[in-house]
Amino acid sequence: MTPTWPRFSPTAPLHSCLPTASHRRAASRHVRINDDVTTEVVAFLRDRIDRAVAAGIPLERLIIDPGHDLNKNTFHSLELTGRLEEVIAIGLPTLVAVSNKDFIGETLDRELDDRLDGSLAAAVICIMKGARIVRMHDVPTTVAAVRMTEAVLGFRKPAYVRHNMGCS
């Protein structure tokens, strides 16, 4: 469930859904590139968290999303990715939806159907910075990239180990 923040269904606290607060800039697609978008996103999300808790939604059921490309330009989405640890510091599970986004296409000069490698790179960077939920289109390839990243970070063991483990 992604409610329209700051409005919540009066029954939201009664359900087992996990509300997600996503940052979305004002409707204009013409935003300045020198804005400190990360500070803006963190302040916005903190405000929405406070509103959700005041509306009766338990803090442990909330998820946050910095909103890559949601009325942000490529420079903003790149900044958010590079400074994601500031969003992570809020302390709630963080979802990133970076799959096939315009910032990837514009950065790599790729059309929509040719952004998988950039999407995976962005997802891995976000995971390495602390994101724990990723929304991606190519699930099998993403699962492999996430599992490898988790192994590097010490969150999971290799599926098996044979290489250079001695003679058999």
Catalytic residue among 7, 46, 135, 156: 135
| Single-letter amino acid, residue 80 | L
- Residue among 168, 124, 132, 151 nearest 20 (CA): 132
Reply yes or no on whether 135 is catalytic: yes
Spatial separation of the C-alpha atoms in residues 149 and 71, rounded to whole Å: 29
Alpha helices in the chain (DSSP H): 37-54, 74-82, 84-88, 102-108, 116-128, 139-152
Per DSSP, the three-state class of 19 is coil
Reply yes or no on whether 72 is catalytic: no
Spatial separation of the C-alpha atoms in residues 63 and 55, rounded to whole Å: 15
Catalytic residue among 101, 110, 129, 132: 101
Spatial separation of the C-alpha atoms in residues 20 and 131, rounded to whole Å: 14
Q: Compute how many other C-beta atoms are within 10 angstroms of the C-beta atom of residue 55.
A: 16
- Residue among 40, 36, 18 nearest 132 (CA): 18
Q: Which residues are catalytic?
A: 101, 135
